[in-house]
Amino acid sequence: MPCEVKPRFLVLYGSQKGQAQSIAEGIADEAEERGLVADIYCLSEGGKFNLEKESAPVVFVVSTTGDGDPPDTALKFVKNIKKKTLPSDHYSHLCYALIALGDTNYENFCNCGKTIDGRLQELGAKHFYATGHADDVTDVKLHLMKAASETGSSVLETQSGAPSAVVEASLTCSLPPLSESVLNVPALPPAYLDVTLQEATIEEETSAPVSKETLHEVPISRAVQLTRDDSAKTALLIELDISPGDSLDVLCPNRASEVGELLQRLCLQDQRSHRVQLSLRKDTKKKAAHLPSYIPENSTLTYMLTWSLELRTVPKKAFLRSLVECTEDSGERRRLQELCSKQGSADYNLYVRDPSLGVLDLLRAFPACQPPLSLLIEHLPKLQPRPYSAASSSFRHPGQLHFVFNVIEFPACTWRPTGRQGLCTGWLSDLVNPILLNPRKAQPSTTPTLPKVFVSLRENCSFRLPSDLSKPLIMIGPGTGVAPFIGFLQQREKEREENPEAEFGETWLFFGCRHRDRDFLFREELQGFVGKGTLNHLKVCFSRDTQMGTETKTGPRYVQHNLLLHAKDLTNLLLKENGYLYVCGDAKNMAKDVNETLIEMISAELQLDKLDAMKRLAGLREEKHYLQDIWC
């Protein structure tokens, strides 16, 4: 089966009475039988392994002794990892699983394992399999599932006189009642595409998309890192030489490594330059079946996988249902059926949707599953360009458009042991790396060639400044949500310069981030707007700064808390002075919380019950006085 297998892994044990050692040895033996090489050491043999440089998966088996103490052989190791001087990313390269042994009769059950586990997490290490807490009291079999290989090619199962682990469900493993349920599985989606691959005579370019009619290829003139290196998120500002719009769509390719892995997984690497010819199956039962218009005729297989299909999309249940038919392995068939069934909805959400698994992650987890190319084309959607809001105004930057984004980071999980970045934001981040300006670092002395991106511009007719300059503006944009307001304020500044006699409405901006010193985006520019009177009220809150000087922080944590502090002024501006309220940024949490807070504020201010306050807010939305530019 073509899948990437890490041949070596490391087993470390901390044993008092030999139990942890014997389990660790059992794991190593089993692994070797399955073609993996296991290095096994006691935690006291510090000179023989080096976790600081370890790139293979590590399995820890540790017992607990006394009143929750580490076994003697693990004392030094525990002491070392507890050192406060270690940076929070000390073990960020490390991918591990841990079995903690203990006795439920003691209060500090599995304490040593829990301590090591917690500390490894604090130091950035990632689980590749959920921690097992084993109980010495009962004497039943221990399962350590999918323990060693990055791609999940091995299942280790240690049996006999060993203590029992709390077996946990995972993407590939279910527990009762689900594993014993009768399942309601959706109907098999009818196949509708025939695919043939034809040898191409000319090598095709895959570095650029073909449909360039609506796309502009533009140089990135400047890229700046706005956050400090120790910030939880990395925010980048990109400046393009292009006539401005309100927002833009960036078309990014799928990663070459993922395209390559998929080709290999489908056993199609030798046909990567073949042309894909699609036709509708004559006998298809699918209603209104049609060829996907976003796959250009005669494109090569590599081109199609690079520019046409969204490989990262979370596979829908219908896709999982179809995959059932592509594996002969009864365990895989059952688990895929469970994941797409009504009864398995919670598992689907937990193991597929929430960790944002893609088709490749899924195929790694189900190695016997061999779908045909046609199935992927039927189920993977079009690769969508990513929209970004403009963070600049043509008044200040004619011929330019700036945008700001966070590089999305997906944490590692069992089937994605190394973690990954968002498709577009990771790609942009790599692309601008040679020209990236980091105000806190020395800049490159040479001038590299400017990278280019394919973009299309978009107009947003409603999320704009009102034409009536005298209307008050309330802008709410934490994190990268501040982007359009930078453009608004640049425009307002110019309007103030050009209309010195005009009456301008009050301007408020609510911004929020984690730390004042790490991720306060556009700090100087915003303070500059305040200095010039363009921005009358800048309200900022920091969600993770617990100490302000020597005093404990008591101020607002999130933007909505700050809104409440100014509820009277804001409702007055909005309801009595006919102001405009803009919200930009995260739709899932922030925009929802702000909406709830606005209802609360209106309800309190106008003495309305919740339903009437909601109606009043809906009215403001309809009149386009409450505007949102939000995304998930």
Question: DSSP state, 197?
Answer: E
* Least distance in angstroms from the C-beta of 265 to ligand FAD: 20
Rounded to 5, what percent of the chain is helix, strand, coil?
30, 20, 45
Is residue 292 near ligand FAD by the rule CB under 6 A? no
Which region, judged by CB under 6 A, interacts with ligand FAD, from 125-133, 197-205, 398-406, 619-627? 398-406
* Least distance in angstroms from the C-beta of 258 to ligand FAD: 11
* Least distance in angstroms from the C-beta of 424 to ligand FAD: 3
| Contact yes or no for 121/39 (Cβ under 8 A) | no
* Least distance in angstroms from the C-beta of 460 to ligand FAD: 8
Is residue 306 near ligand FAD by the rule CB under 6 A? no
* H or E, element range at 42: strand 37-42
Would you tell me the crossing angle of helices 523-532 and 483-498 to the nearest 10 degrees? Answer: 30
For the purposes of burial, counting CB atoms within 10 Å of the CB of 602, is it exposed (0-12), middle (13-18) or buried (19 or more)? Answer: buried
Which region, judged by CB under 6 A, interacts with ligand FAD, from 107-115, 118-126, 416-424, 430-438? 416-424
Secondary structure of residue 38 in the 3-state scheme? strand
Q: How far is CA 10 from the centre of its chain?
A: 28
CA dihedral 276, 280, 284, 285 (to 10 degrees): 110
**Sequence-distant (≥ 6) Cβ neighbours of residue 15 within 8 angstroms:** 21, 22, 24, 42, 61, 62, 63, 71, 73
Measured CA angle at 587 (ends 585, 588), to 5 deg: 130
* Least distance in angstroms from the C-beta of 3 to ligand FAD: 22
Is residue 631 near ligand FAD by the rule CB under 6 A? yes
Closest CA to 193 of 280, 309, 93, 63: 280
Q: List binders of ligand FAD among 332-361 (CB under 6 A).
A: 356
- Considering only 144, 423, 475, 513, the residue that binds ligand FAD (CB under 6 A) is 423
Tell me the residue type at 455.
V
Is residue 422 near ligand FAD by the rule CB under 6 A? yes
User: Is the peptide bond preceding residue 434 cis, with omega within 30 degrees of 0?
Assistant: no
Number of residues that bind ligand FAD (CB under 6 A): 21
Is residue 416 near ligand FAD by the rule CB under 6 A? no
* Least distance in angstroms from the C-beta of 90 to ligand FAD: 24
Q: How far is CA 395 from the centre of its chain?
A: 35
Question: DSSP state, 587?
Answer: I
Task: Fill in the per-residue mask, 378 to 397: x = in contact with ligand FAD (CB under 6 A), - = not in contact.
Answer: --------xxxx--------
Q: Beta strand 436-437 with 216-225: parallel, antiparallel or unpaired?
A: parallel
Nearer to ligand FAD (CB atom), residue 357 or residue 574: 357
Q: Which residue is nearest to ligand FAD (CB)?
A: 422
* Least distance in angstroms from the C-beta of 210 to ligand FAD: 21
**Number of neighbouring beta carbons within 10 Å of residue 615:** 12
Q: Which two tokens stand for residue 67?
A: 């009143």
Ranges assigned E (strand) in 301-431? 386-389, 400-406, 409-410, 420-421
Task: Fill in the per-residue mask, 238 to 267: x = in contact with ligand FAD (CB under 6 A), - = not in contact.
Answer: ---------x--------------------
* Least distance in angstroms from the C-beta of 245 to ligand FAD: 12
Nearer to ligand FAD (CB atom), residue 405 or residue 582: 405
Is residue 632 near ligand FAD by the rule CB under 6 A? yes
Nearer to ligand FAD (CB atom), residue 288 or residue 632: 632
- Considering only 129, 405, 454, 488, the residue that binds ligand FAD (CB under 6 A) is 405
* Least distance in angstroms from the C-beta of 575 to ligand FAD: 27
Is residue 453 near ligand FAD by the rule CB under 6 A? no
d(CA 50, CA 41): 11
* Least distance in angstroms from the C-beta of 482 to ligand FAD: 9
Is residue 403 near ligand FAD by the rule CB under 6 A? yes
**Number of neighbouring beta carbons within 10 Å of residue 335:** 25
- Considering only 15, 299, 327, 425, the residue that binds ligand FAD (CB under 6 A) is 425
* Least distance in angstroms from the C-beta of 314 to ligand FAD: 8
d(CA 382, CA 372): 18
Phi and psi based region of residue 150 (left: phi greater than 0; alpha: psi -120 to 50; beta: remaining): alpha
Nearer to ligand FAD (CB atom), residue 91 or residue 427: 427
Which region, judged by CB under 6 A, interacts with ligand FAD, from 17-25, 419-427, 514-522, 613-621? 419-427
d(CA 52, CA 55): 9
* Least distance in angstroms from the C-beta of 396 to ligand FAD: 17
- Residues lying near ligand FAD in the complex (CB under 6 A) are found at 247, 312, 356, 386-389, 403-406, 408, 422-425, 480, 483, 629, 631-632
